[in-house]
Amino acid sequence: AQTVTQSQPEMSVQEAETVTLSCTYDTSENNYYLFWYKQPPSRQMILVIRQEAYKQQNATENRFSVNFQKAAKSFSLKISDSQLGDTAMYFCAFMKPNTGANSKLTFGKGITLSVRP
Amino acid sequence: DAGVTQSPTHLIKTRGQQVTLRCSPKSGHDTVSWYQQALGQGPQFIFQYYEEEERQRGNFPDRFSGHQFPNYSSELNVNALLLGDSALYLCASSSRAGEQYFGPGTRLTVT
């Protein structure tokens, strides 16, 4: 079974600064996907960024980028130029591709990020 | 294009009662997954439906059951409610090769 660990329960960052959220995972699979989801107080879970394990290049989406270390089973999220709207819970998630229908997502416990004005 | 929709938004039930939650997937999606999110925790996978059949199931008792209709919408049923069933229930839809898009969730409170 796969596990996802987010050991930092909460973090705070000043607006416009950079923050890194940590995530580690455990799996015996070689091919899989990793995700960061954002959940603001409105509760809607929003996909931030996705990384395929077979890709060596780290994924980037505007101000969001990841540091994917496959051997270390580490998947951190870097948020540059933090904005007040980035305040939310952030979840790291793992998915093992399945034949046929999509596989399930395994989530970490999440980290609460607060951006200070 | 409407995204994933869920109803109702909030629900209050008494222990022992039964509840049905509903989900309509995003247009073009044929797979629906359900997750339970306790307060301050990450979502936990309940089960997944594809082609009107339960394809995968997480570690949840048989009190949790579901259904998928020909139009791909889905229901989650919970029987004999316990206080511990109080949570946010999230529905996510996807196509076979795509990412999971989440709905806004249904907040269930069991008293």
What's the average model confidence in pLDDT over B60-69?
Answer: 97
Q: What does the alpha-carbon distance between residue B69 and residue B67 come to, in Å, rounded to a whole number?
A: 7
Coil/strand/helix, residue B32: strand
> Are residues B44 and A107, on separate chains, in Cβ contact within 8 Å?
yes
Q: How far is A100 from chain B (nearest CA, A)?
A: 7
pLDDT tens, position by position, B74-106: 999 999 999 999 999 999 999 866 789 999 999
Task: Give the model's confidence band at B1: pLDDT under 50 very low, under 70 low, under 90 confident, else very high.
Answer: low
Q: For testing the chain A interface, which of B26, B59, B99 should be mutated: the one with the most A CBs within 10 Å?
A: B99
Q: What does the alpha-carbon distance between residue A13 and residue B53 come to, in Å, rounded to a whole number?
A: 45
pLDDT, residue A97, reads 76
The mean pLDDT of chain A is: 93
